[in-house]
Amino acid sequence: MSHAIRIKPASRVDLSSIPTSADGGMTKEEGKARMVELSGEINELQDLLYAAGEQSLLVVFQGMDTAGKDGAIKSVFRSVDPLGVKSWPFKVPTELELAHDFLWRVHAVTPRKGQLAIFNRSHYEDVLVVRVKELVPVKEWRARYDHINAFEKLLADSGTIILKFFLHISKDEQEERLLAREEEVEKAWKLSVGDWKERESWNAYQAAYEDALAKCSTKHAPWYVIPADRKWFRDIAVAETIIETLKSYTDAWRESLDAVGTIRKAEIDAFRSGQGES
Amino acid sequence: MSHAIRIKPASRVDLSSIPTSADGGMTKEEGKARMVELSGEINELQDLLYAAGEQSLLVVFQGMDTAGKDGAIKSVFRSVDPLGVKSWPFKVPTELELAHDFLWRVHAVTPRKGQLAIFNRSHYEDVLVVRVKELVPVKEWRARYDHINAFEKLLADSGTIILKFFLHISKDEQEERLLAREEEVEKAWKLSVGDWKERESWNAYQAAYEDALAKCSTKHAPWYVIPADRKWFRDIAVAETIIETLKSYTDAWRESLDAVGTIRKAEIDAFRSGQGES
C-alpha cells in the first residue's frame, strides 16, 4: 500500500484538508533505508519495461514552486538506465509552441514503447498558471479539462501507463525553502523574484489545482497527492506508487520477453542450418 | 591520465595494432572499486554542468555489435540526474529522415546548454554501415567526412564539448558475446540474425572505422579508442576520459554560478525594498 493519496474520479478535492507533513509513521533514518530498497525495485521494473518494449510509462510532476519536483525526480529516478528514460521540462511556451494547440508540444515528447518519460511540469500548466494569470479567456481554459482527459485516454489506449503526482507542501514550508536558497551559495542560481511574486497568488493556485485534480483524475490516468513537506517521505510515496502500479504488468512483460526470445532463437537456428546447407 | 587512446588529428589508424583486452594493470576487483569513485565524480561534474548552464556535453558511442555501447552507457551514466541527460539511439533511418540530409535527425537532438546528450550510434553510421552495405554511391559517403567535421565544429563553436568513443573488441570476443545471448533467457530478446550476418563483414567495418577515426578526430571533437574486451575496464576508460575533459571547465562554471547567484540575490533585495516602500 502506497502512502500517496489517490484522487477518486469525479470527486471534490479540498487540499487544505490533506496534510502536507505526513511521515507514514517512519523515522527519517528508516525512510532513507526504505528508499534504497524502492530505488532498486524501480530500476528492475524499468529494465523490464524497456526490454519488453510493450508499453510506455508517463510520470507527471506538478506542484507549487519549491515543492520538490526536481528533487523528487532526481531521487526516485537517479539510478535508472539512461537508455530508457527522458525527462522533459515544460517552461513558458515559445512563440512556435503558442502558435499550436496547448497539447502539441506535450504530445511530441510522449514516451515510445519501452520508455519512461518524466514531465517536469506539464500540460496541466495550461489550466494552472494560465488560469491564475488570466493568459487566455475563461471559456478557453475551462474547455481544456475535457481536452486533457481525451488526450490522456488516447495515450492510455495506446499502452501508456500514466501516473500524475501533485507534490503538496504548506505555504510555510515554501517560505522556508525560498529563504534557504538565499542562504546557500550553491542554490542561489535557483533564486527568482518570480517565485516570491507567484507566492502572492497561493490561494488562487491551490484552487486551480483542486479543480485540475478533481476533473482530471481518471481510472487510466490517476492523480496522486503526495505529502511533500518532508522530502524523504515525498520520495518514498512517489516511488511506492510507481512500483505498485508497474507490478501489475510484470507477468505479461515477462511472458512477452520469453516469446520474443523463443522466436529469435528459432530464426538463428534457421539461419545456421541455411548456412550449413549452402 | 586516462586509459583511452586518443586519435591524433590526421593520423593513420590501424585498429589491429591496438589491443582490445588491456586492463591498465588493475585487477577486476580494483577496477570495480575505481568505477564507484569515477561514477561519483561524473555525477558531481554533471550537476555542475547542469547548474552552470554555460555549455553542453555530447558523448558519442560507436562500436561493432556487442561491443558494449548499451552496457557502457548504463554503467558510466546510470547515476546521473535524469533532469540533465538524454540518450538517443540512432537506428535504421525512417522514410522522413532519409528525405533529409544525413545530419538532420542528429542535429535535431544535440544537447541544449547545461545538458548531456548520449548518442548510442550516431551520424557516423552514415560512413560505416552505409559504406559497407553500399547504400549510397562512393562519392556521396566520401564527402561526408568533411560534412561531419564542419557540423561538429559548429557545435563546438556554440559551446558543446564533444567526446567520441569507439568501443574496440576482438572478433573472438564478439562471437563469445553473441553465443552468450543464446544461453541466457533474459538476453534472448537482444538476439538477431542480423548480427551474425553483419559479422561476415567484420573486416570491411574495421576499415570503415579506421577511416572515420582518422579523418574525423579533431581537436574540438576527438575520437578515443577504448579497449573493450573487458567490460569493467571499458567503463573505467570511458569515465576517466569524460572526467579529465570536464575538469578543465569547472573553474569557469563555478565562477559563472557565483555571478548568477549574486545577481539573483540583488534582484530579490530590490524586490523586497520595493514592497516595503509600497
Q: What percent of chain B clears pLDDT 90, i.e. is strictly above it?
A: 84
- For cell 583511452, what's the residue? B4
| B121, B59 contact by CB (below 8 A) | no
Q: What are phi and psi of A7, to 5 degrees?
A: -85, 125
Provide the mean pLDDT of chain A. 94
Residue B270 has pLDDT above 60, yes or no: yes
B178: cell is: 553473441
Q: Please judge whether B120 and A83 are an interchain contact, meaning their C-beta atoms are less than 8 angstroms apart.
A: yes
List the single residue in B with minimal CA-CA distance to A257. Answer: B189
Q: Please judge whether B262 and A188 are an interchain contact, meaning their C-beta atoms are less than 8 angstroms apart.
A: yes
Q: What are phi and psi of A277, to 5 degrees?
A: -70, -35
Q: What percent of chain B clears pLDDT 70, i.e. is strictly above it?
A: 98
Using CA atoms, how far apart are residues A161 and A221, in angstroms rounded to an integer?
8
**Is B239 exposed, middle or buried (CB count within 10 Å of its CB: 0-12, 13-18, 19+)?**
buried
Residue A58 has pLDDT above 70, yes or no: yes
Q: Please judge whether B188 and A78 are an interchain contact, meaning their C-beta atoms are less than 8 angstroms apart.
A: no
B173 pLDDT band, cuts 50/70/90, is very high
Which of A238, A190, A205, A193 has the alpha carbon at shortest distance from A66?
Answer: A190
Q: CA of A91 to nearest chain B CA: how many angstroms apart?
A: 14
Selected for mutation to probe chain B from A120, A121, A193 (highest B CB count within 10 Å) is: A193
Q: Please judge whether B271 and A185 are an interchain contact, meaning their C-beta atoms are less than 8 angstroms apart.
A: no
**Which secondary-structure segment (H or E) carries A63?**
strand A56-63
Q: What is the mean pLDDT of residues A36-41?
A: 96
**Which secondary-structure segment (H or E) carries A210?**
helix A202-216
Using CA atoms, how far apart are residues A277 and A260, in angstroms rounded to an integer?
26
Tens-place pLDDT, residues B139-170: 999 999 999 999 999 999 999 999 999 999 99
Selected for mutation to probe chain A from B189, B253, B263, B271 (highest A CB count within 10 Å) is: B189
> What's residue A187's pLDDT?
77
A18: cell is: 490533506
**Is B57 exposed, middle or buried (CB count within 10 Å of its CB: 0-12, 13-18, 19+)?**
buried
Q: What is the mean pLDDT of residues B96-116?
A: 97
Q: What percent of chain A clears pLDDT 90, i.e. is strictly above it?
A: 84
Residue A260 has pLDDT above 80, yes or no: yes
Using CA atoms, how far apart are residues B134 and B16, in angstroms rounded to an integer?
24
Provide the mean pLDDT of chain B. 94
> What's residue B191's pLDDT?
83
List the single residue in A with minimal CA-CA distance to B69. Answer: A83
Residue B278 has pLDDT above 90, yes or no: no
- pLDDT higher at B188 or A154: A154
Which of B75, B51, B48 has the alpha carbon at shortest distance from B61?
Answer: B75
**Total length of chain A:** 278
- pLDDT higher at A105 or A190: A105
Using CA atoms, how far apart are residues B76 and A228, in angstroms rounded to an integer?
31
> What's residue A1's pLDDT?
60
List the single residue in B with minimal CA-CA distance to A190. Answer: B261
Q: What are phi and psi of B7, to 5 degrees?
A: -80, 125
- For cell 535535431, what's the residue? B108
- Show the DSSP H helices in chain B as ranges: 28-52, 69-77, 95-98, 104-107, 129-132, 138-157, 171-183, 193-199, 202-216, 231-247, 250-277
Q: What are phi and psi of B89, to 5 degrees?
A: -85, 140
- For cell 501489475, what's the residue? A248
Residue B225 C-beta-side C-alpha neighbours within 13 Å: 24
CA-based torsion, A42, A40, A256, B198: positive or negative: positive
Q: Which of B79, B82, B188 sits opposite A73 (nearest CB)?
A: B82
Residue B2 has pLDDT above 80, yes or no: no
B188 pLDDT band, cuts 50/70/90, is confident
Tens-place pLDDT, residues B191-214: 888 899 999 999 999 999 999 999
Selected for mutation to probe chain B from A49, A54, A83 (highest B CB count within 10 Å) is: A83
B244: cell is: 579529465
Chain A with chain B: Cβ pairs closer than 8 A: 103
Q: Please judge whether B86 and A86 are an interchain contact, meaning their C-beta atoms are less than 8 angstroms apart.
A: yes
Q: CA of A138 to nearest chain B CA: how many angstroms apart?
A: 30
| B63, B94 contact by CB (below 8 A) | no
B1 pLDDT band, cuts 50/70/90, is low
A46: cell is: 524499468
A85-89 β-sheet, strand order: A5-6, A223-227, A160-168, A56-63, A116-120, A85-89
- For cell 569515465, what's the residue? B239
Q: What is the mean pLDDT of residues B70-88?
A: 95
**Is A149 exposed, middle or buried (CB count within 10 Å of its CB: 0-12, 13-18, 19+)?**
middle
> What's residue A265's pLDDT?
86
- pLDDT higher at A185 or A215: A215
* Rounded (5°) CA angle B46-A180-A125: 70
> What's residue B134's pLDDT?
96
Specify the DSSP class assigned to residue B16: G
> What's residue A7's pLDDT?
97
List the single residue in B with minimal CA-CA distance to A254. Answer: B186
List the single residue in A with minimal CA-CA distance to B188. Answer: A261
Q: Which of B51, B87, B271 sits opposite A82 (nearest CB)?
A: B87
Rounded-to-10 torsion of CA B196, B201, B202, B204:
-160
Using CA atoms, how far apart are residues A274 and A114, in angstroms rounded to an integer?
33
Domains defined for chain A, CATH in brackets: 5-267 (3.40.50.300)
A276 pLDDT band, cuts 50/70/90, is low
Using CA atoms, how far apart are residues B277 and B10, in angstroms rounded to an integer?
66
Tens-place pLDDT, residues A149-166: 999 999 999 999 999 999
Residue B276 has pLDDT above 80, yes or no: no
A5 pLDDT band, cuts 50/70/90, is very high
